[in-house]
Amino acid sequence: MHQRKGKKILIYFFLLILVGSINNIDLSSIKFEEVKYINIDGLEEKENSILLQEIHNLNLDNIFFVNKEDIQNQIDSNSLVEEYSIFKRYPDSLDIKIEKTEFLARTNNNGKIYFIGSNGKLSKNIFSNVQLPFIFGKPKIKEFLYFKKIIDESKFSYNEIKNFYFFSSKRWDLELKNNIIIKLSSSYPKDSLQLAFEFLQNSNLTDIKIIDARVKNQIILNG
């Protein structure tokens, strides 16, 4: 028992010496490595460069005291980013891995055309060669994303859709690429979408332009 106490006293003695030695060090003489390299992966080259410059503008200090929250706020403000991760690579590098958002549709916002991303953000229309469905009407982004989820859970292929029409009653119409318009119920859009799909699969349509599935369990056709 006395031997164990002796060992503990000896350990405490050495710790006191160590702490005292650290306190005597002139901290101003300690030099930490500054962040020299920031590697961003996941966006196009130009998009990577823009984000890289924005992060450089944060004037990051040494890697030990980098405020990740500042970097996160900068990345979160980028409408092209879906998800990301930040890794410190000692002694002087940061690696940022990005998953780019998926563009789902085009919409008019205050007279300008934007893309709606799967991250729920709007991006400027600088991708002129991207062909996406256009949304007519003024749904909230979360309303569109919810409706997109309904489509994904149905048997319809999203690639078949040419345009969306949103009404103030919270109802949606779909225009397919074959120019057929499907009118859906606001109360049970899943059921009316499924009913329209089954009808299309089992019908030979020639002059039909509108499939009205707003009434429960009924299909009304218009030429």
User: HEC states along 63-121?
Assistant: HHHCCHHHHHHHHHCCCCEEEEEEEEECCCEEEEEEEECCEEEEEEECCEEEEEECCCC
0.85 cut: is pTM over it? no
Query: What's the confidence (pLDDT) of residue 126?
Result: 73
Query: What's the confidence (pLDDT) of residue 34?
Result: 80
Asked if residue 36 lies in contact with residue 93, where contact means CB atoms within 8 angstroms, the answer is yes
Asked if residue 86 lies in contact with residue 101, where contact means CB atoms within 8 angstroms, the answer is no
Query: What's the confidence (pLDDT) of residue 3?
Result: 46
To which CATH superfamily is domain 103-222 assigned?
Cell division protein FtsQ/DivIB (3.40.50.11690)
Query: What's the confidence (pLDDT) of residue 170?
Result: 95
Query: What's the confidence (pLDDT) of residue 13?
Result: 47
Query: What's the confidence (pLDDT) of residue 223?
Result: 66
Query: What's the confidence (pLDDT) of residue 35?
Result: 86
Query: What's the confidence (pLDDT) of residue 167?
Result: 97
Query: What's the confidence (pLDDT) of residue 10?
Result: 44
Query: What's the confidence (pLDDT) of residue 2?
Result: 44
Query: What's the confidence (pLDDT) of residue 155?
Result: 92
Give me the tens of pLDDT residue by residue for the chain, a chain 223 residues long: 444 444 445 444 444 554 454 455 454 455 567 888 999 999 999 999 999 999 989 888 788 888 889 999 999 999 999 999 999 988 889 999 999 999 999 999 999 999 999 999 999 877 666 789 999 999 999 999 999 999 999 999 999 999 999 999 999 999 999 999 999 999 999 999 999 999 988 777 777 899 999 999 999 988 6
